[in-house]
Amino acid sequence: MADARRYHRLPSPFRMKRGGELIGAQLAYETWGTLSPHVDNAVLILPGLSPSAHAASGPYDSSDGWWEAIIGPGKAIDTERWFVICVNSLGSCKGSTGPASHDPTSGRPYAIEFPELTLEDAANANQCLIDALGIARLACLVGCSMGGMTTLAQMLLHPNCTRAHISISTAPQAQPFAIAIRSLQREAIRLDPNWNNGAYDDTHYPEAGMRIARKLGVITYRSALEWSGRFSRIRLDSGARDEDPFAFE
């Protein structure tokens, strides 16, 4: 199966908001549909940090994307009407430059030495791509999760970059509870014996710590009301409990 990703080389050096810079950095992205002659039908989709740019199937990669039900002919984001672009965020590791990428100055993966990433950095990188595609103004900017935060940053940093925007499962800022949970997630990873001060590789990595961190994250993705609705306690018949004390799903 062909790789539908395209790559855009960012300005070099690409300077980061909190210091540091990237040399030869790139963004991975995919597109669907056709850009109109008036260049007025472009929709930019920004996922969270972990999803790839493969949001939907297409002629070059027919595998289902992570938003297959939403993007495509006749769907909510209709590729027969819109020219759809999905970017793999700067700092992710699915085509765009991130901690797993090689630092050209050292020849080794950036790993823990990757410059501190902000939403503003991701937003500026996205805007570089849009400018390079010759799109003066997007029809719509769509962001999910962290991508929703990036949409807000992009609109603040680049006024009039879009006519409309949609933010899904996101917020303008992290709440104290979320910050506290994220600190526990980082601690779980760092306490894993394979953390190795961030100098791990594909064969020895903090899998146990990452698993715990992910479980913590998934817990926070659901409200108390949803937990009660989906996993509420069920009263068992006393006779059935005596016969078989174990429950099965």
Same-domain status, 189 and 90: no
Listed residues 144, 171, 198: the one ending a domain: 171
Instruction: Give 43's DSSP letter.
Output: E
- Domain contains 119: yes
Quick one: 224 and 153 in the same domain?
Answer: no
Q: pLDDT tens-digit profile of 17-70?
A: 999 999 999 999 999 999 999 999 999 999 988 899 999 999 999 999 999 999
**pLDDT value at residue 113:** 94
How far is it, in rounded angstroms, from Cα 206 to Cα 247? 33
Count the domains in the chain. 2
Determine the pLDDT at residue 241.
Answer: 60
Distance, in Å, from the CA atom of 190 to the CA atom of 193, rounded to the nearest integer, reads 8
Sheet holding 6-9, edge to edge: 6-9, 26-32, 83-88, 42-46, 140-144, 165-168
Domain that residue 112 falls in: 1-171
pLDDT in tens, 148-207: 999 999 999 999 999 999 999 999 988 899 899 999 999 999 999 999 999 998 889 999
Q: Give the CATH number of the domain where residue 214 resides.
A: 1.10.1740.110
Over 60: is that where the pLDDT of 243 sits? Answer: yes
Among the three residues 119, 149, 171, which one is the final residue of a domain in this structure? 171
Q: Are residues 100 and 29 in the same domain?
A: yes
Rounded CA-CA distance 161/116 in Å is 25
Statement to judge: residues 71 and 186 lie in one domain: no
pLDDT of residue 249 exceeding 60, the answer is no
Dihedral of alpha carbons 184, 171, 122, 115, sign: negative
Position 236 scores a pLDDT of 65
Same domain? 57 vs 178? no
DSSP 109: B
End-to-end CA separation in angstroms for the chain: 37
Q: For residues 118 and 149, state if they share a domain.
A: yes
Same-domain check for residues 139 and 108: yes
pLDDT at 247: 60
Q: What percent of the chain has a predicted confidence (pLDDT) above 90? A: 80
**Angle between helix 146-157 and helix 119-132 axes, rounded to 10 deg:** 70
**147-151, Cβ contacts within 8 angstroms, sequence gap of 24 or more:** 147/45, 147/46, 147/47, 147/48, 147/89, 148/46, 149/119, 150/46, 150/89, 150/119, 150/122, 150/123, 150/126, 151/46, 151/123
One domain, residues 182 and 152: no
- Residue 210: how many CB atoms within 10 A of its CB? 16
Q: Tell me, yes or no, whether 245 lies in a domain.
A: no
Tell whether 247 is covered by a domain. no
The reply to whether 43 and 165 lie within a common domain is: yes
Q: Which two tokens stand for residue 40?
A: 């007025």
Q: Answer whether residue 135 shows pLDDT above 80.
A: yes
In the chain, % of residues over pLDDT 70: 94
Q: Are residues 119 and 66 in the same domain?
A: yes
Mean predicted confidence (pLDDT) in 106-119:
94
Here the CATH number for the domain that contains residue 37 is: 3.40.50.1820
Instruction: Give yes or no for residue 87 having a pLDDT over 60.
Output: yes
Average pLDDT over residues 72-86: 98
| Shared domain check, 196 and 152 | no
pLDDT of residue 238: 64
98 and 218, same domain (yes or no)? no
What are the distances in angstroms from CA 46 to CA 79, 90, 126? 16, 11, 9
Query: What predicted TM-score, i.e. pTM, was given to this entire model?
Result: 0.88
Q: How far is Cα 135 from Cα 43, in angstroms, rounded to an integer?
A: 10
